[in-house]
Amino acid sequence: MIRVLELLTSTALGGGPRQVWDLVRHLPRDEFEVTVAGPRDGPFFGRFGELGCRVATVRAARIGLGPLLATLALVRAHRIQVIHSHGKGAGLYGRLAARRTGAAAVHTFHGIHFESYSPVGRRLYLALERRLARWTHTIVSVSVSQEAEGRALGLFGPGQSATVVNGLDVEAQDRLLATMPVGRASLGLAEDAVVVGCVARFDPVKNLGALVAAVERLAARQPRLVLLLVGDGAEKTRLQGLVARAGLGDRVVFAGWLADSARALRTMDLYAAASLKEGLPLALLEAMAAGLAVVATDVPGHRDVVRDGETGLLVPVGDDAALADALGALLADPDRRRRLGRAGRARVLREFAVAPMVEKTAEIYRAAAAAARR
């Protein structure tokens, strides 16, 4: 039995915790004993418990000695062989604990985000990640683009990295959409509205203001157009201010976080993502699996998922006019939307299934555990 600790920086709604949840529920129970640890800051903390695995509180998003001591105690108490960390804080404490105890460290970058730091902060962050990499058995990237970026930044050594693309349990999503869909009326959407939707954490990197600007450009041409934003976060007040200044009023609907946000996909006619950067966005995979055509910025993560002109449209990042034009072109062409949506679903089924993600991760755990025993 291989004993694994999944150490999370957050258990809030979002792609990282959701991917770990999918991983834990699909790993073979007769081979892996999984403990999950992270802060009690979101619904996934309870959902991990419902899977029957051991769950513990570690405030990995905080800086201090407490989270490290808590991680060390967990590793020693449960004789953990592999520590798999997710996120910056977890990556720090997990790899320090692995070095101290002799466990093997695995770390996943769910996006490499440091551009908002000061120049000094960027240098310190990259120097820390390069040091931590020396104590890490395998560093996992969730997309080919992200692995290329990590290699260029020197975040791992030769032979140390692995790309394990995010996987989606399409069958489970299909059942959810068939049995528990969210209706338009419950979100305050008119039945005849033309809905562009996005599911995201309200964070500057998601660039949601660009979607508001696109709707402002399209409003006169599309009198029934509504932007549906599913999510929440620190940017909400700023986004509401943009909506008010643009005079969009009820043309932008803030739905908040929804449990299993994919349930809202059936309310959408088109999916849009304007992020400045991504790892490999689960919400985009969910939209494509639901048969939605997508418009996304041409950035790492998005370009790993969307084939321009085949499964959706890619537009230059920072070009609000191009984003509005792409949205307008697809809104005016339902047949093209359906063709792109069918191709997108087929690609998710073919290339982003959950089973390969789980098996590749299991292989990494086996190799890491074997190294830890030596």
One domain, residues 161 and 305: no
pLDDT of 145 strictly over 90? yes
* CB-based contact 343:293 (threshold 8 Å): no
One domain, residues 163 and 28: yes
* HEC sequence for 233-293: CCCHHHHHHHHHHCCCHHHEEEEECCCCHHHHHHHCCEEEECCCCCCCCHHHHHHHHCCCC
**Span 136-159, average pLDDT:** 93
One domain, residues 18 and 144: yes
One domain, residues 31 and 151: yes
- DSSP code, position 227: E
One domain, residues 206 and 250: yes
One domain, residues 130 and 255: no
Q: How confident is the model at residue 374 (pLDDT cuts 50, 70, 90)?
A: low
**Span 261-287, average pLDDT:** 94
One domain, residues 320 and 365: no
pLDDT at 285: 96
Concatenating the DSSP letter of every residue in 36-75 gives EEE-S-STHHHHHHHTTSEEEE--TTS-SHHHHHHHHHHH
One domain, residues 128 and 175: no
pLDDT of 274 strictly over 80? yes
The pTM (predicted TM-score) of the whole model is: 0.91
pLDDT > 70 in the chain, percent: 99
One domain, residues 11 and 139: yes
Number of domains in the chain: 2
**Span 46-68, average pLDDT:** 93
> CATH number, domain at 87?
3.40.50.2000
pLDDT at 225: 96
One domain, residues 10 and 141: yes
One domain, residues 144 and 177: no
Domain span holding position 10: 2-167+353-373
Q: How confident is the model at residue 261 (pLDDT cuts 50, 70, 90)?
A: confident
pLDDT of 118 strictly over 80? yes
**Span 138-148, average pLDDT:** 94
pLDDT of 311 strictly over 70? yes
One domain, residues 230 and 274: yes
Q: In 3D, which of 64, 108, 66, 117 has the Cα closest to residue 87?
A: 108
